[in-house]
Amino acid sequence: MNDDTPNAAPATILITGGSGFLGSRCIVHALAVGHRVRATVRDLAREPQLRATLARAGVDAGDRLSLHAADLRSDKGWAAAAAGCDYALHVASPFPADIPRDENELIAPAREGTLRVLRAARDAGLRRVVLTSSFAAVGYGHGPRAQPFDESVWSDTAAPLAPYVKSKTLAERAAWDFVASEGGGLELAAVNPVGIFGPVLSDDFATSILLVKRLLDGALPGAPKLYFGVVDVRDVADLHLRAMTDPAARGERFLATAGDFLSVSDMAATLRRELGPAARRVPSRQLPNWLVRLAALADPAVRQILPDLGKFKNASNAKARRLLGWNPRSAEQALLATAHSLIELGLVRG
β-strands 65-69, 36-41: how paired? Answer: parallel
Element at 253 (helix H, strand E): strand 253-256
Per residue, the 3-state secondary structure of 53-106, as one string, reads HHHHCCCCCHHHEEEEECCCCCCCCHHHHHCCCCEEEECCCCCCCCCCCCCHHH
Between CA 254 and CA 244 the distance in angstroms is 12
Inter-residue contact 43 to 63 (CB < 8 Å): no
Catalytic residue among 168, 225, 313, 319: 168
Distances, alpha carbon 15 to alpha carbons 65, 139, 162, 208, 335, in Å: 10, 26, 27, 21, 26
Local structure of 15: helix, strand or coil: strand
Number of residues that make up the chain: 350
Element (H, E) at 263: strand 262-263
CA diameter of the chain: 57
Active-site residue 166, yes or no?
A: no
Within 8 A by CB and 6+ apart from 115, the residues are: 174, 175, 178
**Cα first-last separation, the chain:** 31
171 vs 94: CA distance, rounded Å: 12
Kindly list the catalytic residues.
168
